[in-house]
Amino acid sequence: AAVMAGEAVAQVPDVQIDGDGVFKYVLVRVRGAGALAKDVVRGHGWAEYHADLFERTAEELARHGLSCECLGGGRLSHRPEERKIHVYGYSVGFGRADHAVTTEKLKAEYPNYEITWANEGY
């Protein structure tokens, strides 16, 4: 079961964000059976609140037998025509995500982008 949980955790995409615009994001720690865990980034314009992003992510993960916790949130400004993503802000409900962690995840997903972050702004 631990191997299957490990594979399930490994199959969860590290980053799922909208292709353009400014939107909220959450940093979520995904857990399988045993000690396996990884952090993932979810950011979408349809979400009015950070909790909306987290709840949908939790529902999707639960279908695969995985649990998760929200590590915090913020905002993303994604400008594909300039190949730039800026990570900033915080979540009122979940607190500020570790934007440095988020930035590393985004750099792996978008290697040709300039990705910056700041704790300022909302």
Give me the active site residues, please: 50
**Of 65, 66, 113, nearest to 87 (Cα)?**
113
**Edge-to-edge strand ranges of the sheet holding 21-31:** 15-17, 37-44, 21-31, 67-79, 84-88, 114-117
68, amino acid identity: C
Listed in sequence order, the residues at least 6 apart from 59 whose beta carbon sits closer than 8 Å to its beta carbon are none
105 annotated binding-site participant = no
Give the integer Cα–Cα distance in Å for 80 and 48.
22
Binding site members for substrate = 24
Residues within the annotated binding site? 24
